[in-house]
Amino acid sequence: MSIIKEIHVPDIGDFKNVDVIEVTVAVGDTIDVNTPLIMLESDKATMEVPSPLAGVVRELRVKVGDRVSQGDPILYLDVAESVSAPEHPSAADEAASAGGPGEVLEVRVPAIGDFKNVPIIEVLVAPGDHVDIDTSLITLESDKASMEIPSPAAGTIQSIEVKVGDHVSQGDLILMLRASGADAAAKPQLPDALSAITLAPRSPKPETAPPAPPVKAMPPLSAPTRPLAAEVSTTAAPSFAKVHASPSVRRFARELGVDLTRVAEGSGPKGRILKEDVQDFVKQVMSGALVQAPTTGTPTAGYMGIPPIPPVDFARFGPIELRPLSRINKLSGAHLHRSWLNLPHVTHHDEADITEVEAFRQSLTAEAKSGGPRITLLSFLLKASAAALRQFPTFNASLDPTGENLILKRYVHIGVAVDTPDGLVVPVIRDVDQKNILALSAELGELSAKARDRKLGPTEMQGGCFTISSLGGIGGTAFTPIINAPEVAILGVTRSKMAPVWNGREFAPRLLLPLSLSYDHRVIDGALAARFTAFLAQLLGDIRRLLL
């Protein structure tokens, strides 16, 4: 005998609405544990989602072009009844096991990571309200993000035990919920023989984004009726990453096509944008009292008033071929463009005498032929950069969203730009200051291989404090690397060269390594950048200083 299991998207880090670029199984396929089900592609990497169970695919819930997040359904899998259930039951399963229909359940704050004493900024339900599974109950806001707490079960709200302004942690009581028998028995509709199988209730994923509601759904406006989406924003699905608003307000704004970055400071606590602020903004736009500034949606659309590059018909001059960019190139290009426009870049150039460290590296390389990791100059650069970041903590920092405070990081995670056939990716090596050269070389080789094989996980590309981009294997004398925001600096390295250097008595041949340090001038001035590169060059010139 077999049972049907619903397979969901697992934990993929901080990524949300990731594109499905390939479905690697079909209905009727027999799969094993860890068989790839779908291929996802974010702006940083491509990742496969493996199957947690073995069985036969009965129904697919996604297709190429869909966007998914953690917890979204992928497919229904027919598995043997002996297959054990997941070690960590869902919140809905826990609620169901707590009691049957009609029983009053305690709904508590679920696991929210390392956050504690998080303030409640919205209570989204009231006593007597009927809620379904995943209906948002309250909104929390930490110093990093806003999050909505969903209901683990369907039923009627009996009482609410919290209010706006309270601080809660994992396990704190939110409300009392009387489980609903009718909703608890609800099942998703499956075709033919699958219709009798018991499945956990889940809202179906829409095929496309819902259309913007018509203008008549808005409060009465004094201006003539015009298409709202075209007037409020010309950019589809704007990014509100740095906007001070709850998820429900963000969703409301997206439904109306409102760009929250254009809304003035909100009327809520600490300038938080409320639903009423969004409605007032729409009224101003519709009445003509507010004129939208140009926004950028495509490379030719212009950016905040910058004149766009006029299109050219190149076919008039000869044969052409249209070759689309890879998706990673498109998305990383947008990230680099945003960084270049928002950060005042300055690049400082210097040279490091690496004659001695190169001789030492070659001696280690000879020893490594017996089976150890391949030692490259980049391993020494990582170690020396970590020491420089400790010496100059301003480089190991980020500006907060207000631009008025500096967030100093007590850890040293360094990203390394890796060239792959699909574009540039930046895996992050963690705690570089706590690892030796051999350990760094082994980890660098492993991450570089995974990057080229498109097997980097999302957590392996997050949390960087500083980035190194090395073109030494290709050539060049200097360049201006673009800062990987929200970092404040990036080190570019080109090919080393032999040059005569005066030592006080004569010119002697020395191996010099060009260094190009780009930095955010809002945080770092020229003198500090010169001291940083001089200190880094000193460490590379005499690697023994890393022991001090």
100: number of CA atoms within 13 Å, CB side? 0
Query: Contact 73/8 with Cβ under 8 angstroms?
Result: yes
CA distance 328 to 425: 8
Amino acid at 437: I
Whether residue 73 has a cis bond before it, omega within 30° of 0: no
Taking CB atoms within 8 Å and a gap of at least 24, the contacts of 261-269 are 262/233, 262/292, 262/293, 268/121, 269/121
Query: Contact 422/46 with Cβ under 8 angstroms?
Result: yes
Listed residue (264, 222, 261, 266) closest to 241, CA to CA: 261
CA distance 190 to 56: 16
Neighbours of 246 (CB within 10 A): 24
Q: Concatenate the DSSP letters of all residues of 128-167 into one string.
A: T-EE-TT-EEEEEE-SS-EEEEEPSS-EEEEEE---TT-E
CA distance 211 to 227: 12
Amino acid at 316: R
Query: Contact 40/47 with Cβ under 8 angstroms?
Result: yes
Buried b / exposed e over 278-312, threshold 16 CB at 10 Å, is: bebbbbbbbeeebeeeebbeeeeeeeeeeeeeeee
CA distance 362 to 375: 8
Amino acid at 171: G
Q: How many residues does the chain have?
A: 548
Listed residue (136, 166, 129) closest to 152, CA to CA: 136
Q: Concatenate the DSSP letters of all residues of 70-101 into one string.
A: TT-EEEEEEEETTSPPPSS--HHHHHHHH--T
469 beta partners: 492
Q: What backbone torsions phi and psi does residue 80 show, to the nearest 5 degrees?
A: -65, 145
**Active-site annotation, residues:** 521
CA distance 236 to 301: 13
Neighbours of 378 (CB within 10 A): 19
Q: Which two tokens stand for residue 517?
A: 């340090």
Query: Contact 527/505 with Cβ under 8 angstroms?
Result: no
